[in-house]
A and B are shown apart, each in its own frame.
Chain A
Amino acid sequence: MIEVRNISKTFADNKVLNDVSYTIKKGMCNLVIGRSGSGKSVFLKSVVGLHPVDSGEILFDGRDTTKMTNIELKNLRKEIGMVFQGGALFNSSTVEENVAYPLEMFTKMSKAEKQKRVDFCLDHVHIENANHLFPSEISGGMQKRVAIARAIALNPKYLFCDEPNSGLDPVTAIVIDNLIQDLTKELDITTMVITHDMNSVMEIGENIMYVYQGQKWWEGDKKQIFNTDNPELNDFVFASDLFKSIKKNK
């Protein structure tokens, strides 16, 4: 479990996060949703330590990352897997080398053990016969799946995904969403997903936080989100005609 308590973050004069608190629960898909520029990506990068926060506490199973030394933070990061918006795969490395990278850096596994782990991870994300291809030679959906495989290579306790299905067609997006949900349950990890895709919310949203203008505006699950009377959240949820008609029919 990750407890985020009253964090704030300012860039120059722009307060991007304002006193945000959120509990990211273990074994669940925790979603942070919001409009573009609302501060959700900054929230994620603050939680994982890429952007140091101005105030507040971030507790990874009781360990406060805001008070950690660089070495402690570095050790904690070995327990974190992250999937970036664009995949962030290393262009000059093959699919297999990308997944093996954290194993090369942080384990003393033999070559055979590493290969076994790489095959296991790629198998989990349903990647076949692409081990020796470069990221530029595979589709966007496959790149995201390889990024997930790399993120789980070291058996992380925490998985963070920054808009994992952006730029993907609806079918592939749902495949990625389901994959993240399955891995969360199967590996019993703490997962946080940043998204602005309502399909993802309805597919995997178990614990959802809506961020609006850098503040936590609403928290609940996918059932509650349809019945909220929060006007800003309603604007977001029912922005498309499809969701408007679903609400009408209800």
Chain B
Amino acid sequence: MRILYHIGRFGILQRRVFARPEKHKILFTNILREMDKLGVGSILIIMIIMFFMGAVVTIQTALNLENPFVSKIIIGFATRDSIILEFSSTVTAVILAGIIGSNIASEIGTMRITEQLDAMEIMGVNSAGYIILPKILGMMLMMPFLVIIAMSVGILGGLAATYVIPSLSAQDYLTGLQLDFSAYRVFYSLIKSDVFAMIITMVSSYHGFYAKGGSLEVGKAGTLGVIYSIILILIANLFITHLMLT
């Protein structure tokens, strides 16, 4: 019964979030602000993580394919597909759920307990729409760019790893990258990433928006936002993959 209560309340909140905004100009400004805060602010950490992840995936793939009957170019091929299909979108989303999710839940939770959201409501402003909608749209606009950056840096990380793998040359890796390339897989990853962006922002905002009590509860809201975002990302990943790749 508790889960039905949360689903119902989540639905009511989303109805308020997607209600007609007070002023489109203010919404546009707020979207740009959120794109900068949530998206641009995450680029560096994603680049660092994906570079090392790409390198590790290449090393592990090379280790598992040490067979004279298997062509070395398969390593580049496997690394590329792992990064494009899974690591760039799902792993990036899980990382962002941790970074951005807790940030969003804490920010909105603090606004709730310090009565800033009530102050907006009293003025006649739809606080849910004003605060949450720019975050959802801003993150959805930024996420595909973040994923493309993650893909590029991850593949570069793999290339860098070829310099420490004696059995794999950079040329083999680069040839493998171009083997049987399908743009649809990039498209699939980008679609997935936008769904993940929605999940992270909506779920974290929900936990922040209904935070009660003091700073301890705000921290708890942040943690819950991250946990449920990650669980829903993994479930959504399964459904989208089944829908688009099988």
Contact = CB atoms under 8 A, between A and B. Distances in A.
Contact of B26 (A78, A84, A89, A105): A105
A189 to B, nearest CB: 15
Interface in B105-156: 110, 114-116, 118-119, 121-125
B22 interface: yes
B22 A105 contact: yes
A86 interface: yes
Contacts, number: 50
A101 B127 CA distance: 13
Interface of B: 22-23, 26, 110, 114-116, 118-119, 121-125
B75 to A, nearest CB: 48
Given A78-B124, A80-B122, A104-B26, 14 more contacts: A50-B122, A75-B124, A77-B121, A77-B122, A77-B123, A84-B115, A84-B118, A85-B115, A88-B118, A91-B110, A102-B123, A105-B123, A106-B22, A160-B122
Contact of A84 (B22, B23, B119, B125): B119
Interface centre among B22, B115, B118, B119 (most CB of A within 10 A): B119
Interface in A45-95: 45, 48, 50, 74-78, 80, 82, 84-86, 88-91
Contact of B115 (A48, A75, A88, A106): A88
A8 to B, nearest CB: 22
B118 A50 contact: yes
Nearest to A84: B115
B125 A48 contact: no
Contact of B124 (A50, A74, A104): A74
Contact of A90 (B116, B118, B124): B116
A90 B115 CA distance: 10
A40 to B, nearest CB: 16
A89 B111 CA distance: 9
Enumerate the 6 nearest inter-chain pairs by beta-carbon distance, A residue then B residue, closest first: A77-B124, A88-B119, A88-B115, A84-B115, A82-B122, A74-B124
Nearest to A150: B119
A82 B122 CA distance: 7
